[in-house]
Amino acid sequence: MITLNHYLALGGLLFCLGLFGALAKRNAVAVLMGIELMLNAVNINLVAFNHFLEPARVTGQIFAIFVIVVAAAEVAVGLALVLNIYRRRLDSNVDDLDWLRW
């Protein structure tokens, strides 16, 4: 029997994998991939809460759709930023993008 806690554990594991990817990667595009994994983990949790706790309404699915919308906007703007920085510095390594450093 699969319970809500199984889905929450899966979402937590996926979130932590995405967090590791976003923190530990050197390529800016790979950092964006990690952020997408984290947003997907959140969506799994929202839909699982909807299914197990409040099945008569679709509020969790509505929120998941809003998360997808924001994620699409975020990845479009983020990749445009990466492309613009790459064109100026010929580099997409986040360790070298340090000209705002103190």
Interacting positions 49-78 with other proteins (CB under 8 A): 50-59, 61-62, 64-66, 68-77
Neighbours of 38 (CB within 10 A): 19
Question: Cβ distance 74 to 9 under 8 Å?
Answer: no
**Residue position matching structure tokens 């839909």:** 47
Indicate whether 97 belongs to the interface with other proteins (CB under 8 A): no
Indicate whether 9 belongs to the interface with other proteins (CB under 8 A): yes
Question: Cβ distance 14 to 26 under 8 Å?
Answer: no
Question: DSSP secondary-structure letter at 59?
Answer: H
Considering the complex, state which of residue 90 and residue 100 has its C-beta at the smaller distance from other proteins: 90
Indicate whether 12 belongs to the interface with other proteins (CB under 8 A): yes
Considering the complex, state which of residue 47 and residue 100 has its C-beta at the smaller distance from other proteins: 47
What is the contact mask toward other proteins in residues 32 to 51, using x (rule: CB under 8 A)? xxx-xx--x--xx--xx-xx
Q: How far is the CB of 101 from other proteins (least distance, A)?
A: 15
The torsion angles phi and psi of 4, rounded to 5 degrees, stand at -60, -35
